[in-house]
């Protein structure tokens, strides 16, 4: 496990470094008027910081056991669940312009929580509705960012 943490920590740090370097080629702006490079710069700094913590913990931990061999996927159905999640993401991408932001988000969150999270039907319905309405309110009303509208009008 330590080797995996070491390798992933170093790779994530290098990824963050690359994103940080590239974000500096865009205008940063200010806190009140952020430019195109502001968010990637902040996100890459967080990524580099957290990956440095993972890497340091992996190198400094004193496990008495040698690197235990464990399967990459802990469950037998994990690869299938990953593919199902990826298919749901693709479905969301193609459903978004057809039915609009709020309904597509509601269906996407419901699908993920019900079929991948295996929560109750009522809980999934409640959570997906709250998420879709909350995301719509944040983007459309509060931030005034136009989200995709349905091509099909009812």
Neighbouring C-alpha atoms within 13 Å toward the C-beta of 137: 6
Given this model, what pLDDT does residue 1 score? 63
What's the pLDDT at 142? 86
Query: 94 by DSSP, 3-state: which?
Result: helix
Report, in this order, helix, strand and coil percent for the chain, each rounded to 5. 70, 0, 30
Distance CA 20, CA 48 (A): 9
pTM: 0.58
pLDDT band at 16 (very low <50, low <70, confident <90, very high): very high
For residue 146, which phi and psi values (nearest 5 degrees)?
Answer: -70, 125
At 100, list the tokens: 């609009």
**What pLDDT is recorded for position 34?**
86
Domain coordinates in residue numbering, the chain: 2-60, 78-142
DSSP 116: I
Q: Name the packing angle between helices 101-111 and 78-99 (round to 10°).
A: 170
């Amino acid at each position: 496990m330590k080797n995996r943490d070491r390798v992933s920590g170093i790779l994530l740090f290098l990824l963050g470094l690359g994103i940080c370097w590239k974000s500096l080629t865009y205008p940063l702006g200010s806190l009140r008027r952020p430019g195109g490079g502001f968010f990637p710069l902040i996100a890459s700094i967080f990524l580099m910081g957290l990956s440095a913590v993972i890497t340091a913990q992996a190198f400094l931990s004193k496990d008495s056991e040698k690197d235990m061999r464990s399967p990459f996927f802990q469950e037998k159905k994990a690869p299938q669940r990953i593919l199902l999640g990826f298919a749901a993401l693709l479905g969301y991408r193609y459903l978004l312009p057809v039915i609009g932001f709020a309904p597509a988000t509601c269906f996407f969150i419901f699908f993920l929580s019900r079929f991948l999270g295996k929560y109750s039907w009522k809980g999934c319905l409640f959570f997906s509705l709250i998420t879709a309405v909350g995301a719509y309110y944040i983007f459309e009303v509060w931030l005034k960012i136009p989200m995709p509208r349905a091509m099909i009008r009812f």
